[in-house]
């Protein structure tokens, strides 16, 4: 009997492919750093992770060098809004939506959303993001474009009354469409799944929130919703219903469903208690919250209370890019500045937010290099000043958060399928996508009539 060295675990038989790297950052429960390390993939899952010195059971071995780590997880996005990148800069959220975004969205066609999502998916993948949760209109177009691009996606069809869109944009119609899409796309999991995306407690009537809770419970679907993003939102909900947004969501049964709440900047202690009791997950969007002047979410306190928290880019009209590395760095910076405490959110906490934390918030078995996890893997180039010196494993992890960036991502695999090679997206015609988005953005802004 041959004994394998300790540190590796194995599942499955002698097939698949083995990737050998100078460094493997697992982000598993022990956050192991293997120097050098290897990851074996069987189908769309990881079948083994361990030191490179241990001989594997895979049929093929590929020496990739560099650093392998789990793909990043975008817990909240509106990626088709590449069509509106940087629109309305300098406006607070309420005016930004009412004066700039919603009038353009009322003009959206499904083909506009498809091109916007193609361009967004290519940007995400090249930045090392392998999973994304997309709350948007024309959800079938979002789903089809995500499938084309090969990015893992939770599509959350937006549900609210879209001003200027007529009966086609009513919350009832959009909720019915979301339920139909959920049934139609069941067979695509875990690459693609459908949630329900009520926009917010202040953009849906109480009747609408009750209906969302009923449909989501029947479908056993995730509910993805903006919550407590601004102080003005809190004042509006309180004036209308005499309670906070989380309290309204509890009252209408929404919190009895699986819920992923985006932003959560202005939560009271009792709101956090509600979230804790209902196991609500949170998508923290530090860059968008900063750009729109919404405030800083108490993410370190949420983590301290045991909430599942990931980070999100939000949309490229309020960020204005889809670079989760920037969010991963900004989240601890803001937490430490807010508390005047350099230990408020640790380096490892930040890495976890972008990987396994986001995956856990979405309910996706990803975000870590571990046996049975989805084979969503990214490779980074280590031949860069950002990784010098690396005297310890702690140094290397710190470099990932504080010195590295998306420019160092060279290769990306989603479910074992390579979608980025040599910094080039293999699944999206980016030149065509850039051209189409630029043209369509003009029409949506009211500057011309085509295409």
Q: How far is 414 from 421, CA to CA, in rounded Å? A: 12
At which of 362, 388, 406 does a domain end?
362
Tens digits of per-residue pLDDT, 130-185? 999 999 999 999 999 999 999 999 999 999 987 766 677 799 999 999 999 999 99
**Residue 270 falls within a domain, yes or no?**
yes
Residues 386 and 285 in one domain: no
Give the domain CATH number at 21: 2.30.40.10
* Of 24-33, 77-86, 90-99, 157-166, the least confident: 157-166
Is the pLDDT at 9 greater than 70? The verdict is no
Number of domains the chain contains? 2
Residues 91 and 53 in one domain: no
**Residue 4 falls within a domain, yes or no?**
no
**Residue 436 falls within a domain, yes or no?**
no
3-state SS class at 310: strand
At which of 330, 362, 394 does a domain end?
362
Give mean pLDDT, residues 236-242: 97
Q: How far is 75 from 77, CA to CA, in rounded Å? A: 7
Q: How far is 342 from 297, CA to CA, in rounded Å? A: 17
Q: How far is 183 from 368, CA to CA, in rounded Å? A: 29
Range of the structural domain that residue 333 is part of? 72-362
Residues 345 and 219 in one domain: yes
Residues 127 and 276 in one domain: yes
Residues 258 and 404 in one domain: no
Give the domain CATH number at 160: 3.20.20.140
The average confidence (pLDDT) of the chain is 94
Is the pLDDT at 356 greater than 60? The verdict is yes
Q: At what angle do helices 324-339 and 347-354 cross, to 10 degrees?
A: 140
Tens digits of per-residue pLDDT, 10-67? 444 447 999 999 999 999 999 999 999 999 999 999 999 999 998 777 889 999 999 9
Residues 124 and 253 in one domain: yes
Residues 379 and 276 in one domain: no
Residues 63 and 34 in one domain: yes
Residues 284 and 378 in one domain: no
How many percent of the chain have pLDDT more than 90? 91
**Residue 331 falls within a domain, yes or no?**
yes
Residues 104 and 248 in one domain: yes
| Residue carrying structure tokens 């560099």 | 66
Is residue 362 within 8 Å of 282, Cβ to Cβ?
Answer: no
Tokens read off for 260: 């992923």
Residues 265 and 354 in one domain: yes
At which of 362, 388, 404 does a domain end?
362
User: pTM for the full model?
Assistant: 0.95
Q: How far is 187 from 397, CA to CA, in rounded Å? A: 38
* Of 4-18, 56-70, 87-101, the least confident: 4-18
Q: What is the pLDDT of residue 1?
A: 23
Residues 349 and 216 in one domain: yes
What is the pLDDT confidence band of residue 450, given thresholds at 50, 70 and 90?
low
**Residue 446 falls within a domain, yes or no?**
no
* Contacts (Cβ under 8 Å, ≥6 apart) of 277: none
CA 196 to chain centroid:
16
């Amino acid at each position: 009997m041959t004994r394998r060295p300790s540190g590796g675990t194995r599942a499955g038989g002698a097939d698949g492919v083995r990737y050998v790297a100078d460094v493997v950052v697992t982000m598993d429960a022990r956050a192991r750093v293997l120097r050098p390390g290897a990851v074996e993939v069987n189908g769309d899952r990881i079948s083994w992770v361990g030191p490179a010195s241990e001989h594997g059971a895979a049929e093929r071995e590929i020496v990739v060098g560099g650093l392998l780590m789990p793909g990043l997880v975008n817990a909240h996005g509106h990626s088709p809004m590449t069509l509106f990148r940087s629109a309305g800069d300098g406006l607070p959220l309420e005016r930004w939506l009412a004066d700039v975004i919603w009038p353009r969205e009322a003009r959206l066609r499904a083909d506009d959303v498809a091109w916007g999502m193609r361009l967004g998916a290519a940007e995400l993948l090249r930045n090392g993001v392998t999973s994304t949760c997309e709350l948007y209109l024309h959800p079938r177009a979002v789903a089809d474009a995500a499938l084309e691009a090969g990015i893992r996606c939770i599509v959350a069809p937006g549900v609210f009354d879209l001003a200027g869109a007529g009966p086609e944009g009513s919350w009832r119609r959009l909720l019915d469409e979301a339920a139909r899409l959920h049934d139609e796309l069941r067979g695509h999991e875990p690459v693609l799944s459908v949630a329900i995306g009520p926009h917010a407690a202040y953009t849906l009537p109480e009747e609408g929130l009750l209906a969302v809770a009923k449909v989501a419970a029947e479908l056993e679907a995730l509910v993805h919703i903006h919550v407590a993003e601004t102080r003005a939102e809190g004042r509006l909900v309180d004036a209308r219903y005499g309670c906070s947004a989380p309290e309204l969501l509890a009252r209408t049964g929404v919190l009895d469903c699986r819920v992923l709440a985006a932003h959560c900047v202005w939560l009271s202690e009792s709101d956090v208690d509600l979230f804790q009791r209902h196991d609500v997950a949170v998508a923290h969007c530090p860059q968008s919250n900063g750009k729109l002047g919404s405030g800083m979410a108490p993410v370190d306190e949420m983590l301290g209370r045991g909430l599942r928290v990931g980070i999100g880019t939000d949309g490229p009209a309020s960020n204005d890019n889809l670079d989760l590395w920037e969010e991963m760095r900004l989240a601890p910076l803001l937490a430490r500045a807010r508390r005047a405490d350099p230990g408020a959110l640790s380096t490892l906490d930040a890495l976890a937010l972008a990987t396994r934390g986001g995956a856990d918030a979405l309910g996706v078995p990803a975000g870590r290099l571990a046996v049975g996890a989805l084979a969503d893997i990214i490779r980074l180039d280590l031949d860069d000043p950002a990784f010098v010196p690396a005297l310890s494993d702690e140094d290397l992890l710190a470099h990932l958060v504080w010195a590295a960036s998306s420019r160092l991502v060279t290769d990306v695999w989603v479910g074992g399928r390579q979608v980025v090679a040599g910094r080039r997206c293999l699944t999206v015609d980016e030149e065509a996508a850039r051209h189409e988005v630029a043209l369509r953005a003009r029409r949506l802004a009211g500057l011309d009539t085509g295409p």
